Amino acid sequence: MTSDDALTVVVAAHNESEALPILHPRIAAALDQLQAVESRVLYIDDGSSDGTWQLLQALAASDPRVSLLRLSRNFGKEAALTAGLDHVDRGAVLILDADGQDPPELIPQFVAKWREGYDDVHGTRTLRDGDSWLKRTTAHGFYRLIGRLSKTPVPADTGDFRLLSPRSLAGLKQLRERHRFMKGLFGWVGYNQVAIPYQRQPRVAGTSKFSLWTLWNFALEGITSFSTAPLRVATYVGLVTALVAFAYAIWIVLKALLWSDPVAGWPTMMVVILFLGGVQLIALGLIGEYLGRLYEESKQRPLYLVDAWRPAAGVSSAQMAVEGVGDAYGTPAARVENV
Ligand code: UDP
Ligand code: MG
């Protein structure tokens, strides 16, 4: 076996102590079926407060394939996944939700596609049984919108359930931006992509961590991280408004000169003032969104901090030298002592 014949299943978990005991045996069973691939599992505890870490430690004690990583607090799924991917030192990775919505039983199919030469094998949801009507329609609308706005391809109805080949993973690790819209980042990496249709299951236990408001913010994140189209919209709205205003000005002047009717109506004036004020505020808000993101990026903070790193036997305990990560930990020895 070469170092490329390894597969690590990466699972970010935030307060998933109910779901993980159901999920792990399913992952283990799927990995047992893999031939000629050295398989591992890496769980990232994203600042859980419900005993997830204790549970994960028990899992690691009973299964030598399991590595554990705990972040210093809840950093959010995207950062937790990034932390996990940074700690995979070789082979391919497969990203899975902790709640069983992405069925681990499909792992052998994903691996088969990777073996055929694909670099990015992603699960595309045909059915979202586990999600509400509102979530399904808003998600659908979002994928259509981002698909039109973004120059980077973002496959529709595709979440984070995917396998990345070693070179795709290496590519992804180089993207160190703070605002992480993972679906877009995967698309940016490129290489040979293939979709595997699957039915999204309901959560096996626990509740979703994503409210509609978080999803809305997530959508904003996606659009502003991968497209500057809204800024251009502001330009065009401004242009059109200026043209209309110009035509209207000519009309007022002509009216005053030809029919000596100098005083325009109060309602017209109010409408014009309010309209222009509104357009300006929207444009300012848009610029603010981008400026805010620029500010966040310019701070160059690490994407996450590690509290504990417990590599399984055979996994390198050293941290990959990835820019923007190294400083965050202290020395590798200090990290292992933390456990
Ligand atoms: N998650 C995480 N950090 C967070 C929120 C969620 O690691 O701050 C994980 C969570 O444990 C799960 C995955 O991200 O494994 C997806 O979360 P969830 O099921 O709540 O989202 P949904 O499927 O409803 O979009
Ligand atoms: Mg879920």
Tell me, in angstroms, the distance from the centre of ligand 1 to residue 98's CA.
7
Instruction: Determine the distance separating the centroid of ligand 1 and the alpha carbon of 130, expressed in angstroms.
Output: 14
Ligand 1 lined by 136 (C-beta under 6 Å): no
Q: How confident is the model at residue 322 (pLDDT cuts 50, 70, 90)?
A: very low
Phi and psi, residue 193, nearest 5°: -110, 145
Check whether 275 has a pLDDT greater than 60.
yes
Task: Give CA–CA dist 34/39, Å, rounded.
Answer: 8
- How is the beta sheet containing 120-128 ordered, strand by strand? 193-200, 120-128, 158-164, 92-97, 6-13, 38-45, 66-71, 306-310
Q: Which of 56, 97, 182 to mutate to test the pocket of ligand 1 (most atoms within 8 A of CB)?
A: 97
What was the pLDDT predicted at 229? 79
User: In one letter, which amino acid is 119?
Assistant: D
For tokens 């009216």, name the residue: 255
Q: What is the pLDDT of residues 116-151, one digit of tens each?
A: 989 999 888 876 666 677 777 877 788 888 777 777
* 205 CA from centroid of ligand 2 (Å): 10
- Note every long-range contact of 51-55, with CB atoms under 8 Å and residues 24 or more positions apart, other chains counting: 51/17, 52/13, 52/14, 52/15, 52/16, 52/17, 52/20, 55/17, 55/20, 55/21
Q: What is the mean pLDDT of the chain?
A: 81
Nearest CA to ligand 1 atom 9: 13
Identify the residue with better confidence: 112 or 229: 112
Q: Are strands 38-45 and 92-97 parallel, antiparallel or unpaired?
A: unpaired
Does the pLDDT of residue 282 top 90, yes or no?
A: no
Other CB atoms closer than 10 Å to residue 67's CB: what's the count? 24
Among the listed ranges 68-72, 196-200, 260-264, which one has the minimum average pLDDT value?
260-264
Query: What ligand has the least distance to the C-alpha of 135?
Result: 1
124 CA to centre of ligand 2 in angstroms? 15
Ligand nearest the Cα of residue 19 is 1
Task: Express each pLDDT in 82-119 by its tens digit.
Answer: 999 999 988 899 999 988 888 899 999 999 999 898 99
Please indicate whether residue 102, judged by its CB atom, sits closer than 6 Å to ligand 1.
no
Please tell me the residue having the least CA distance from ligand 1 atom 21: 208
Higher pLDDT, 46 or 245: 46
Instruction: Find out whether the beta carbon of 18 lies less than 6 Å from any atom of ligand 1.
Output: no
User: How far, in Å, from the CA of 196 to the mean position of ligand 1?
Assistant: 21
If you average pLDDT over residues 181-195, what whole number do you get? 86
pLDDT at 128: 62
Q: Which atom of ligand 1 is nearest to the CA of 81?
A: 7
Q: What is the mean pLDDT of residues 61-83?
A: 91
Q: Is the pLDDT of residue 214 over 50?
A: yes
Coil, strand, or helix at residue 198?
strand
Question: Using one digit for the tens of pLDDT, what is the confidence trace for 18-55?
Answer: 889 989 999 999 998 887 788 999 999 998 998 899 99
As a whole number of angstroms, the distance between CA 69 and CA 101 comes to 22
CA-proximal residue: ligand 1, atom 8 (nearest): 76
Contact status, residue 311 vs residue 67, Cβ threshold 8 Å: yes
For residue 96, which atom of ligand 1 is closest to its CA? 15
Q: Does the beta carbon of 160 sit less than 6 angstroms from any atom of ligand 1?
A: no
Residue nearest to atom 2 of ligand 1 (CA): 77
d(CA 86, CA 72): 16
The alpha helices in the chain, defined as continuous H runs, are: 20-32, 52-62, 77-86, 107-115, 133-149, 166-173, 182-189, 212-226, 229-259, 266-298, 332-337
Cβ of residue 131 lying under 6 Å from some atom of ligand 1: no
Which 3 state secondary structure label does DSSP give 339?
coil
Parallel, antiparallel, or unpaired for β 158-164 and 120-128?
Answer: antiparallel
Q: Is 154 in the pocket of ligand 1 (CB under 6 A)?
A: no
Percent of the chain with pLDDT over 70: 89
The least confident of 36-40, 78-82, 151-155, 289-293 is 151-155
pLDDT band of residue 262 (cuts 50, 70, 90) is low
Residue nearest to atom 25 of ligand 1 (CA): 210
Identify the residue with better confidence: 206 or 196.
196
Handedness of CA 194, 200, 206, 211 (dihedral sign): positive
pLDDT of res. 2: 53
**3 state DSSP class of 73:** coil
**Is 14 a pocket residue for ligand 1 (Cβ < 6 Å)?**
yes
Average pLDDT over residues 217-226: 80
- End-to-end CA, the chain: 31
pLDDT at 131: 66
Question: Cα of 11 to ligand 2 centre, how many Å?
Answer: 12
Q: What per-residue confidence (pLDDT) applies to 336?
A: 41
Long-range contacts of the stretch 132-141 (C-beta < 8 A, 24+): 134/212, 135/212, 135/215, 138/212, 138/215, 138/219, 139/215
Cβ–ligand 1 distance for 325 under 6 Å, the answer no
Output 331 or 39, whichever has higher pLDDT.
39
